[in-house]
Amino acid sequence: MAWKTTWLLFLLVRVAAVWTARPRTELLNVCMNAKHHKEKPGPEDKLHEQCSPWKKNACCSVNTSQEAHKDISYLYRFNWDHCGKMEPACKRHFIQDTCLYECSPNLGPWIQEVNQSWRKERVLNVPLCKDDCQIWWEDCRTSYTCKTNWHKGWNWTSGYNQCPVRAACHPFDFYFPTPAALCNEIWSHSYKVSNYGRGSGRCIQMWFDPAQGNPNEEVARFYAETMSGAGLHEAWPLRFGLVLMLLWLLN
């Protein structure tokens, strides 16, 4: 009888873990636990330039939005011009990428916990619209870099990122031969290029017209509901097993 009780307790713990897990739908309208993010999203009427589309509901402050537009800003001390002057047409995509990361409250379905000194959470495999990725790659082909993964491996001895020793500067398409290579690899798979395009409701748009609303709200809702449904599907065998165990004990 003791071993039956042990199995019952095991099943109870497993099912309780599933029932008490944070539902994916709670990840709608949330901010990451990261270096500069607000605790909760809310209005920020004076967000700066490219970050302004998020002013009605933002995870970034006005100050963060201003710093997102600066070279070697206090945000991350990142030097966009590590291989000479980055073309303005290219740099605007990195500014927009920073605004999306810092300001968007619609990245919840892709938030993952991490054990890093400067943040407790990150995003992974955000489905970036293929057209946004394509134009980012096209606008950056004539700029130069020396690395494929910009999250790590830099020389920080000067207080900002510089190319590591023996890392040669080449045009972007040397290190990123395709749009997918750029968007998927540059930030350690924070993005995963989607097969869907802008306006589909199935991919995150880096660029949007706030006068038409934020299309990423619908996208986050779709993926959050999909993930929540998958979680319920995975939980039913445990619940069914608990019922069988209880019937067995009662007999």
With a pLDDT cut of 70, the percent of the chain lying above it is 81
Above 70 in pLDDT, residue 3?
no
Q: Name the pLDDT band for 5 (thresholds 50, 70, 90).
A: low
Rg of the chain in Å (alpha carbons):
22
Above 90 in pLDDT, residue 175?
yes
CB neighbour burial string for 182-214, b if at least 16 within 10 angstroms, e if fewer: bbbbbbebbbbbbebebebeebbbbbbeeeeeb
Above 90 in pLDDT, residue 250?
no
H or E element, residue 8: helix 2-20
Q: Name the pLDDT band for 19 (thresholds 50, 70, 90).
A: very low
Do 47 and 112 touch, CB atoms closer than 8 A?
A: no
Q: Name the pLDDT band for 152 (thresholds 50, 70, 90).
A: very high
H or E element, residue 216: helix 216-250
User: Is the whole-model pTM more than 0.85?
Assistant: no
Q: How far apart are CA 163 and CA 169, in angstroms?
A: 8
Above 60 in pLDDT, residue 129?
yes
- pLDDT for residue 23: 44
H or E element, residue 126: strand 126-128
